[in-house]
Amino acid sequence: MNLVSKMGKVLIIKVEELREYFENGFQSIGMNYYPPCPQPEKIVGLTPHSDDSALTILLEINEVEGLQIKKDGKWIPVTPFPNAFVVNIGVVLEIVTNGTYRSIEHRVIVNSVQGRLSIGTIYLVIYDGEMYPASNLVAENNPPLFKRVPVEEYFRNLCARKLRGKSPLDALRIEHVQDKYKFILDN
C-alpha cells in the first residue's frame, strides 16, 4: 500500500480510489529455480510474459543473470544488483494508471554453469472489484485506454490460457485512432 500510495501521489490518483482497489488486495509469494542446462539455447527458463499483478517485487537471490526485458523489440539483460529488489509494474497498474506506467514484457533464460534462484511477491487487487483507469487520469483529451472489467472475469480469462503470447490486457484496449479519423472525416 505504501508503494502504491506513493505512485498514486505522483500521478494524482485519489486516495479513496486507490484504497478501493488495493487495500484488501492479496499478496502471494513464489520461488523460482532455474537449474543449469548443458544446452541452454535450446530451452526457455520462463516464457515471455507481462506480470498480471499490480506490482511484483523480485529478489534475485543468488544474483545470477537470466532475467531479460523487451525494449524496442530487443531482449535486454537485467543485471542483478546486490541487495536490491527488481520492482515490476504489472498489468493492473497499467490499467489503473491509464497506460502511464507500462507493464514490461520479460522472460528468463538459463545458462550452462550456474542455477538461478529468485523469489517474487506479487500484489493484486481485490478479487470482487473492477479494474478501470483512475478517474483523475481520464479526461476528454485523455480518453480511457482500457475497458472496465470485473477482476474475477479478467483472471478467469487469464487462467483459460497459458503464460504465453498476448496478454488478455490487449483484449481490453480501446482503439482511439478510429475516433481521430472519424473526427477528420466529420470535419
Ligand X SMILES: O=C(O)CCC(=O)C(=O)O
Q: Tell me how far, at minimum, the Cβ of 63 lies from ligand X, in Å.
A: 11
C-alpha cell at 165: 503470447
Residue whose CB is less far from ligand X, 88 or 97: 88
Site for ligand X, rule CB under 6 A: 30, 32, 46, 51, 58, 60, 67, 106, 108, 118, 120
Q: Tell me how far, at minimum, the Cβ of 31 lies from ligand X, in Å.
A: 9
Select from ligand X, Fe ion, none the partner in contact with residue 53, using the beta carbon and a kind-dependent cut-off of 5 to 8 Å.
none
Q: Tell me how far, at minimum, the Cβ of 38 lies from Fe ion, in Å.
A: 25
Distance CA 127, CA 162 (A): 20
Tell me which residue has its CB nearest to Fe ion. 51
Q: Which residues make Cβ contacts (< 8 Å) with residue 133, sequence separation at least 6?
A: 95, 96, 97, 98, 99, 144, 145, 146
Q: Cα dist. 162→14, 22, 87, 140, 167 in Å? A: 35, 26, 23, 37, 10
Q: Tell me how far, at minimum, the Cβ of 58 lies from Fe ion, in Å.
A: 8
Strands (E) in the chain, as ranges, are 27-34, 46-49, 55-60, 67-71, 74-77, 85-89, 106-108, 116-123, 130-131, 149-150
Residue whose CB is less far from ligand X, 17 or 105: 105
Select from Fe ion, ligand X, none the partner in contact with residue 120, using the beta carbon and a kind-dependent cut-off of 5 to 8 Å.
ligand X
C-alpha cell at 10: 505522483
Residue whose CB is less far from ligand X, 8 or 90: 90
Residue whose CB is less far from ligand X, 8 or 120: 120
